[in-house]
Chains A and B, each alone.
Chain A
């Protein structure tokens, strides 16, 4: 491991990982209990990536994510209670229950777009970055996607455009080794997606996405580069998803040995042990963080289920702007 960031930062990463894991666990339990009905693409196993990258971002930085994106949203700061209310179809949800898990949006936290279409977030990420560039702002855009998305045309067009326009965007490929049910090598022509960056004359780095210290270093360089107007970076963060593609997926297409090895290397307990062993935190301190998070998740659930269901009248709203004076210059 490289020289590690200060303990405070490491604990912040831990807190975000724990928040993601705790929410995921409760979402799955609540679905199994029949209280939430929705398609759920669990991000369990991938917590470390957004938890680490987000500590390097501000609220003003933009983030784009995908249907497997609750980890990205929580790490970026979308309040859990608003996510829970969205999943439960409540009027208090981020999107009033009109978006759901695949479209959670919260501009206040910089969560600008969540897309259900593989690859589609990358061109949009370029546009968010373009707006910042045209206005001369320092903010950066992080656009997340999976290994499967690196095979769709939008990936090529976005990296090319971001390169020729030197856009302040960081492309974060969360390589969890499976594109839906298709193993990486069966659908991808190159050993490492990061190598594809060469075609676009931009830096491409493959990093262990389950190692916060290594990832922190790579992400910091990429973000600083974008802020300095030096253009985009492609980060390929290696990881694994423990709950298959869609919840209910039994993972028959994953060799048992591969799955067992991934679980044995679960980044959450591994990082927790490392923090204690390297004296960045005591077990008691981490337990304290976990209990606070448990209480926060409990409160978020309660907030959601105590909130009113969204009124069906909402299907007639937000299709077009309400008749109002134009605000072209706003």
Chain B
């Protein structure tokens, strides 16, 4: 890795380190996040407890309902907790604290309290972890008013969006894509936050708009390159923040191209793709040259065996086929 490139894992570590250094009210906790326990199961938080002290960076018992609830309470009391839920599936054991409390307390208190909390979690298929260790569950949280959902796709964004999430005054679910932790990318500018709610045009184009986030971005950029050789010019949007959606960027692009394909690793039904597709149809029905297409994972639990896991997730060929469908109108 050259000096101007870092990986996602390093980028998140930098952002947490910089936030802890800059803001005395940032605290960090989760299972095994402190150095005596290894500095995170994949070492994302390595070095932080040593540098910032065990009062502010703590390993927790395996007790998500307890410590995510504690993060909610600490946030109400003026702290900026960054709490880690080791794997995204484990959100299920603390959903009450997230959806009934973190997301709603600002509203239910009439704006007297708020919960500026960042929930870090990681997920993604590829390591044969089966049905309870690799789901993408972002739709649950996008469906919860009051929550924000951030899903970066590259190291520079991972850094800037983490700072943006910590500085944001609302509860943020920050989803990390486990299999690309070690993928290098351009290094971020230290200290610079990316505000939430703004998508990024990852590749400009004119024929069809490809919309993705997190893991699907790496696929979309490859497919766009591939299609350009066949004369299809794809515009690729990286949502960065999945909720609230940056509809301005999406609609401006689709107005130009008249075609859109949404791609995510989460299962297809009732997902983020459905919401984006619906909103595009509601706003641009007459300007569309073809119905919006969705590419997503199979509507089943994540399977274990390698060939099944591969079959569960969409392929590049699925994305190409969806683009072809929109081109046929």
Contacts and interface: CB of A to CB of B under 8 A. Distances in A.
B73 A113 contact: yes
A319 B77 contact: no
A94 B65 contact: no
A112 B76 CA distance: 8
A127 B80 CA distance: 11
Interface string B162-187: 00001111100000000000000000
Interface string B50-71: 0000011010110101111111
A134 B55 CA distance: 6
A126 B168 contact: no
B106 A318 contact: yes
Contact of B112 (A94, A97, A157): A94
A122 B96 CA distance: 12
Nearest to A137: B77
A127 B58 CA distance: 13
A329 B106 CA distance: 19
Given A154-B65, A160-B66, A161-B63, A329 B23 contact: yes
Interface in A286-330: 314, 317-321, 324, 326-330
A124 B79 CA distance: 13
Contacts of B56: 134
A96 B110 contact: yes
B113 A112 contact: yes
Given A107-B113, A120-B97, A134-B27, A326 B169 contact: yes
A30 B116 CA distance: 38
A328 B25 contact: yes
A interface, size bucket? 35 or more
Name the prevailing secondary structure of the B interface residues.
mixed
A328 B195 CA distance: 13
Contact of B70 (A98, A123, A317, A319): A123
A123 B76 contact: no
Interface in B72-94: 72-81
A103 B106 CA distance: 11
B108 interface: yes
A6 interface: no
A130 B105 contact: no
B95 to A, nearest CB: 11
Given A98-B108, A105-B112, A134-B79, A129 B148 contact: no
Interface string A111-151: 01101010010111111111110100000010000000000
A9 B66 CA distance: 35
B77 A326 contact: no
A188 to B, nearest CB: 20
Nearest to A169: B73
Nearest to A98: B110
Most chain B Cβ neighbours within 10 Å, of A107, A115, A153, A320: A320
A322 B90 CA distance: 31
A99 B66 contact: no
Contacts of A125: 73
A315 B77 CA distance: 25
Nearest to A102: B108
A240 interface: no
B70 A99 contact: no
Interface string B96-107: 110011000111
Given A98-B107, A330-B78, A158 B69 contact: yes
Contacts of B114: 321
Contacts of B61: 157, 160-161, 164
A211 to B, nearest CB: 30
B191 interface: no
Contacts of B148: 320
A328 B166 contact: yes
Given A95-B112, A127-B77, A128-B77, A328 B101 contact: no
Most chain B Cβ neighbours within 10 Å, of A106, A124, A317, A321: A124
Nearest to B24: A329
Contacts of B146: 319-320
B100 A328 contact: no
Contacts of B77: 62, 112, 127-128, 131-132
A259 interface: no
Nearest to B244: A320
A47 B9 CA distance: 53
A129 B67 CA distance: 12
B101 A127 contact: no
Contact of A161 (B66, B96, B113): B66
B70 A130 contact: yes
Q: Which 8 A-B pairs have the closest CB atoms?
A: A123-B69, A127-B73, A157-B66, A131-B77, A95-B110, A321-B169, A127-B70, A105-B109
Interface of B: 19, 22-27, 55-56, 58, 60-61, 63, 65-81, 96-97, 100-101, 105-114, 116, 145-146, 148, 166-170, 244
Given A130-B73, A319-B106, 15 more contacts: A96-B110, A98-B107, A103-B109, A105-B105, A112-B77, A117-B96, A120-B100, A124-B101, A127-B71, A154-B96, A314-B110, A320-B146, A326-B169, A327-B169, A330-B25
15 contacts: A93-B110, A112-B113, A115-B100, A123-B73, A124-B97, A127-B73, A127-B74, A128-B77, A141-B73, A157-B69, A319-B145, A320-B146, A321-B168, A321-B170, A328-B166
Interface of A: 62, 64, 93-99, 103, 105-107, 112-113, 115, 117, 120, 122-132, 134, 141, 153-154, 157-158, 160-161, 164-165, 314, 317-321, 324, 326-330
